[in-house]
Chains A and B, each alone.
Chain A
Amino acid sequence: MQRAKDTFYIAVRDRIASLNLARTVLLRGILRPGVLVEENELAVESWPNDAFRLRWTALSIDVDDEMPLAALRCEIVYATAGDSGNGGMNRGRQMAAMDAELAAAVGQSPQNAVKMDYAAASGPASLKTKIFWGEVIFGPLVLEGEQISRTATVDIFSYQEAGEL
C-alpha cells in the first residue's frame, strides 16, 4: 500500500505543479510544490493555507482475486483565507481556483500511473502494475472565521504485487 500512496502523491504533486507553478508551500524553510502528505511531515497544530494536504483514511483489500486489490481512500484538504492585501475578500476566488486545479489534476487523463518503489536502495524503481483512481468528490465548504476550507476524496486502487507490503 505504501508504494501506491507514494505514487499517487508524486503524481498529484507533479500535475498540480505543471498546472500552476505558483501553487507552492513553504515548509521547513524550503519552497516546494503546494502538495503534501500530512503523515509524512512533522506534527504541527496548524497547516499552511493555499496548499493541498493528502490524508490517507479508509483501506480495504479484496483478496478474492489472484492479485489482492487494495482500495485506499485519500482525503485532500485545502483551505484559504484569501490575500491579506485585499482583506481576504478574494478567498472565494482562491478556493474556486484550487477546486479547478484539483479537478484537473485528478481528472486528467490517464487516471493511472505506473506504481513506483521510492524506497528502493538503488533509487526509484518501476513496478509491474499501475495504480488507478476514480473521480474526485468534493465535500461542502467549511467556514471558520476568515478561512474557508474543503475536503475532497479520491479512491485509489492498487494490485498488490508479490512481496509487496
Chain B
Amino acid sequence: MSKSTRTAAGFRRAADAMLRGSAARSVMLRISASAIPADPTEQLGLAVPQFQDIELAPVVFRTAAARLAESKANQRELIVSATAVEALTGLHGFASARALFASAFGVLIDDVLLTITGVTELEAGGAIYAYRIELREAIAEAV
C-alpha cells in the first residue's frame, strides 16, 4: 500500500471517528423506486411512485448552520460519513454516490422530511471522507 493510500485511509478513519464522537445520529434517506417504463399514468401524475427509507449513519445534523432562505424555509446541513455512503451506494446498486443522492426525494429527520438542495464532497489527502448535504425545510413546514 502506497503512502498516499495509507494517508487517505487514515483521513477517512479519523473522519468517521470524529463523526461518531460528535453527537452523531442516524437519519433516513428517502429514495423513490424506479419509474415504470412507458407508463403514462406516472408521467401524468396519476400514479404515485413507491418510496423506500434507508438509514444513513453516522451523520451530524448541523442545526447551528441554519439560516433563513429567500423562500423563508430554513436551510440546514448534514455531514455524512463517506464510508457509510459508499456502503449504501453498493448495497442498493447505484452507480455512484452522486446517483444515490440524485434519486433521493429527501432526508427524513425526526419525522420531518427535508428537501436536498445540494451535495458537496469533503476531501482530504486525495480521498472523500464525508459528504455535506444541504437541506431545506418544506415550505409548508416553515413558520
**Interface residue ranges, A against B (CB under 8 Å):** 6, 9-10, 13, 27-30, 32, 36-37, 39-43, 45, 118-119, 124
Question: Chain A residue with minimal CB distance to B105?
Answer: A42
Asked whether B103 lies within 8 Å of A40 as measured between CB atoms, the reply is: no
Flag whether B21 is at the interface (Cβ < 8 A): no
**Residues of B close to A10: CB separation below 8 A:** 40, 44
A30 and B37 form a contact (CB under 8 A) = yes
Contact-residue bracket for chain B: 20 to 34
How many Å lie between the Cα of A45 and that of B133 in the bound state?
13
Listed A/B pairs (14) with beta-carbon separation below 8 Å? A6-B44, A10-B40, A28-B33, A28-B34, A29-B34, A29-B35, A30-B36, A32-B35, A32-B38, A32-B43, A41-B45, A45-B115, A45-B117, A118-B40
Residues of chain B with a CB closer than 8 A to A118's CB: 40-41, 44, 46
Residue of B whose beta carbon sits closest to that of A10: B40
Using a CB-CB cutoff of 8 Å, which residues 99-129 of chain B contact chain A?
Answer: 103, 105, 115-118
Assess A119 versus B46: contact at CB under 8 Å? Given A10-B40, A28-B103, A45-B117. yes
**List of A residues within 8 angstroms of B103 by Cβ:** 28-29
Complex CA–CA separation, A27 to B34 (angstroms): 8
**B43 and A36 contact, CB distance less than 8 A:** yes
Rounded to whole Å, the gap between the CB of A8 and the closest CB of chain B is 11
Contact of A37 among B32, B43, B117 (CB under 8 A): B43
Q: Is A28 within 8 A of B115, CB to CB?
A: no
Interface secondary structure of A, over-half rule: mixed
* Docked complex Cα distance between A42 and B37 (Å): 16
Given contacts A28-B32, A30-B36, 13 further A-B contacts (CB under 8 A): A9-B43, A10-B44, A13-B43, A28-B33, A29-B34, A37-B45, A39-B45, A40-B42, A42-B105, A45-B117, A118-B40, A118-B41, A124-B40
A56 to chain B, nearest CB (A): 11
Smallest CB-CB separation from A36: which chain B residue?
Answer: B43
Given A42-B105, A43-B115: A28 touches B35 (CB 8 Å cut-off): yes
Q: Which of B41-84 contact A (CB under 8 A)?
A: 41-46, 49
10 closest A-B pairs by CB: A40-B45, A29-B34, A30-B35, A28-B35, A45-B117, A6-B44, A30-B37, A118-B44, A28-B34, A28-B32
Cα of A118 to Cα of B38 in the assembled complex, Å: 14
Residues of B within 8 A of A28 (CB): 32-35, 49, 103
CA distance A28 to B43 in the complex (A): 11
Binary interface profile of B, 18-44, with partner A (CB < 8 Å = 1, else 0)? 000000000000001111111011111
